[in-house]
């Protein structure tokens, strides 16, 4: 399987980066081909401008940057996003990438995209218990899994919240292992 791994964190050497690397290592060992896309290092512009507002759904009617980004994404069978949970959602940089590239006629509407499988590995300071309080975990799942993957006709999905990142190295080492195993079994 060809996997597009979208990594979003301002520090490449963060725990989020280590988790992305662990997933990549597991998926590579399983024989998958991974394209690593680092939104910060590749200087992706997340601002949706008039030329990339949803239009008639024809790829050529979007900006050159979006044509290239969508073509790059669409060469893959699966998408994996690795990012920190900020304000109960994804970082603005990643949201801007989705706003611009996951556009009408490309991933939703009369789309013809190739993505069949998706996963999100989300690093959260909050613990599992804190996320279950008031059903924050379910709200996040609805917003991100249903609102992005399912809306774009990707139904083979997995949303993994790796919580309690402030609990120390031993706790976080479990997240790294989980990411590796997810890659291995993807």
Is the pLDDT reported for residue 55 higher than 90?
no
The pairing of strands 117-123 and 33-38 is unpaired
| DSSP sequence for 94-135 | HHHHHHHHS-BTTTBSS------EEEEEEE-SS-HHHHHGGG
Is the pLDDT reported for residue 134 higher than 90?
no
Is the pLDDT reported for residue 168 higher than 90?
yes
Please give the pLDDT value at position 1.
Answer: 97
Please give the pLDDT value at position 31.
Answer: 98
pLDDT in tens, 10-44: 999 999 999 999 999 999 999 999 999 999 999 99
Please give the pLDDT value at position 27.
Answer: 98
Output the average pLDDT for the chain.
95
Please give the pLDDT value at position 155.
Answer: 96
Please give the pLDDT value at position 111.
Answer: 85
Model-level pTM?
A: 0.95
Each residue of 107-139: b (16+ CB within 10 Å) or e?
bbeebebebebbbbbbbbebeeeebeeeebbee
Please give the pLDDT value at position 112.
Answer: 84
Is the pLDDT reported for residue 54 higher than 90?
no
Rounded percentage of the chain residues whose pLDDT exceeds 70: 100
Sign for the CA dihedral angle at 49, 144, 160, 149 comes to negative
Is the pLDDT reported for residue 67 higher than 90?
yes
pLDDT in tens, 109-131: 988 899 999 999 999 999 989 99
What domains, with CATH codes, occur in the chain? 2-185 (3.40.50.360)
Is the pLDDT reported for residue 158 higher than 90?
yes
Please give the pLDDT value at position 144.
Answer: 95
Range in 45-59, 94-108, 155-169 with the lowest mean pLDDT: 45-59
């Amino acid at each position: 399987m060809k996997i597009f791994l979208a990594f979003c964190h301002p520090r490449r050497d963060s725990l989020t980066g280590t988790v992305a690397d662990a997933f990549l290592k597991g998926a590579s060992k399983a024989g998958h081909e991974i394209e690593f896309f680092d939104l910060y290092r590749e200087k992706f512009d997340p601002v949706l401008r008039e030329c990339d507002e949803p239009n008639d759904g024809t790829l050529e009617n979007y900006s050159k940057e979006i044509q290239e980004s969508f073509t790059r994404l669409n060469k893959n069978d699966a998408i994996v996003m690795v990012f920190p949970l900020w304000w109960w959602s994804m970082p603005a940089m990643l949201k801007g990438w989705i706003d611009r590239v996951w556009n009408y006629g490309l991933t939703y509407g009369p789309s013809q995209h190739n993505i069949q499988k998706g996963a999100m590995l989300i690093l959260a300071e909050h613990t599992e218990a804190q996320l279950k309080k008031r059903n924050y975990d379910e709200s996040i799942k609805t917003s991100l899994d249903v609102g992005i993957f399912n809306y774009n006709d990707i139904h083979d999905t997995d949303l993994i919240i790796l919580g309690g990142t402030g609990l120390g190295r031993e706790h976080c080492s479990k997240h790294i292992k989980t990411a590796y195993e997810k890659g291995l079994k993807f």
